[in-house]
Structure 1
Amino acid sequence: MIKKIENFLFEESIYKILFICLILQVFINGIAYIESSNFLFIASNDIFTNPFSEEKNLQWILSSYFGVLLANFLKIQTFSGFILMHFFFLIFGLAIVIKSLSKKNEFLSRIFLILFFSMPISNILFTWLGIQDPFTFIFSTLLVIFRSSWFSNFVLATLLSIAHSEQAIIIIVLVNLFLIITEKKANYTFLFSSVIGLCLGIFLLQYHFEINNFNIEYTRFDYIGNSGPIRYLTSTFSHFNALLFSLFNVSSYIIYKLLKNNWYNSRGVAFIICCLIAFSVTLITIDQTRVFNLLIFPIVILFLEYNLKSLQSMSKKIFTIIFILSIFVPRYYIWEGKIFSSSHPKNIELLKNYIKNNSELYEKFK
């Protein structure tokens, strides 16, 4: 059985593997949206007016604006359409990522897919639909894949900063830091094009808010500051051991194997430093697993690429077992000190409420 799965993972069409992984995601963890995405949908109805002028404590949400602009451009009128837009962007984006990685190295694209669906990032992206995460993930992933092209760097960094300006800053800092430590010199093409793109995206976003008199008084930094340290410390240390495992889940073994062979060289040092920085950022969030995965996944791709020979020397059975384990070991995440794994309970509750609210269906099935 293991050999058959191994042959499937390493010989079958990469898109067929993606399709099967998506089916497994639906059955194991489900697909769902996050309630706060409704605020972004409201903002997409009119991008020239601040929808939260009277509710200043919600204005920090506007620093994640790409989905709002895209929904407005596509003239999406319903909340369900808004959620579907994020879902299809994620699927289409994954296909582009896989295609792009395959052109570099097909083996690398298969390992990417195995890690993606064995880390919590896949569960988070498909069960937190409606917010900026699919855009942040796809843009940051493509940024490291196309890092040799200054124009691609510039465009993707601009889009990334519009998708989530604060996370974009950290991701671009981490990627540049990894490249500098690993190559022992700055990659000036990537450094300048990514930083200029980042600055342009932030400028365009702020300029849009300024000329349309949004008068934003409550930023994400205000939100972080007003939440207080106790809330963050409680979220981090309530289930600390579970939190540490949730960062990579069963993929931790692959990371361990690579670090074991590289902890003493620049690649290993760069990866460890980036992980520590990403984790330190999560100490001022309440959704540590999610934030860490979004920040570190571009670095994971770089680490895999720089250690491609080590990956190819590893037994394919290891990756196969990791893939099998990911089906049975919950790809849970920590949010505000609580452990979440599947969206099925939430979806069942939504279905029950829908049936209750529809009198004819309720009378039929009660």
Structure 2
Amino acid sequence: MSRTTLSRFSLARRSRTLAVAATAVALTLGLAACSDDDDATTAASSDATGSGADSEATQGTWPREVDSLTVDNGEVTGETEKVEIPEQPERIVSTSVTLTGSLLSVDAPVIASGGAKVGPTSDDKGFFTQWADKADAAGVEALWQLEPDLQKVAAQDPDLIIVSAVGADTATTLYDELTKIGVPVVVLDYSDKTWTEITTEIGEITGHEEEAAATIQSYEDRVAEVRDTIDEPEQPVNVVLPAQGGNLNFMTGESAQGRIITDLGWELAVPGDDITRTDGDYAGRTDVRQVTGENADKALIGKTVFGINVDGTEPVIDKLKAIPTLTDAYAVTNARVYELGASAFRIDYFSAMEILDQIEEYFTPQGAE
């Protein structure tokens, strides 16, 4: 690709960034600072993402080959294949609302996206609340709500299609038809990666490696800022998602939510094998451990508890108080249960930053500026 073309893409990205609201401002400032300090910035980005060498080697190189999961008769095989992207994409369609947040966070030119069902985690278009305003500012068109439509994708005249391999927002059943549109189709699994790993991968696929590194660095900078600003809460910490029937889902250090806690340097308490359910939807998962109500007191040992209120109904503290075995739980009886909003259910850059904002608000000493 010519230097002139790359410059045009750079200008387009910068224009889109200026249109995005406050969260992306930090990213823009980070990129603007890269003038005579490219070597230092590359080194810092390498430390943040663990893939700086690869990014340096591929930045601006087209065509490029990227890894994509293979799909056979609508089913993901678990194997990967190389998909060639001939030139830097300018019209990306995301069939996965979960992956759209990562595309927006690196300022990739996503023009349309599938959405989730309307609910506490999303707006009336099905866009997740943590980045819906960014999508609107960027002019992203909403295509559907968990009902993939081949014709709607084709009508966007995309030059790259992003598909999730898993989740309610997958469109693998349409994979064969999507490939017939005649543009690269890349299938990604976000369930076995951290949000930072997905962000790095998205950056490499779209040619936005520098933006991805800067996005991750801005998160890490914010973690350090919050850690230095607040009073550390009582340790250890539980992160829970109340479930039906009085069950509790505990986030582990493998979860995106748990990693935020450990990034802050706190001790994350996780239920032991002896009280964790080994049946049902959470059997075998490493990011979440489910505990029944009768064992809730043995699992909720955190002196500080963060509860994810994904359905937006009654407060988490009330849900915990309704579990008989938690009557004497320390966090419950000492008002140490802190609510996280619905956006904390699915973590990307934007929701991670929202969680850090909430934590700062909860634990900044009174009277501190």
Normalized per residue, the structure richer in strand is 2
Q: TM-score, normalization: structure 2?
A: 0.28
The higher relative CO (CA closer than 8 Å, separation ≥ 6) is in 1
Normalized per residue, the structure richer in helix is 1
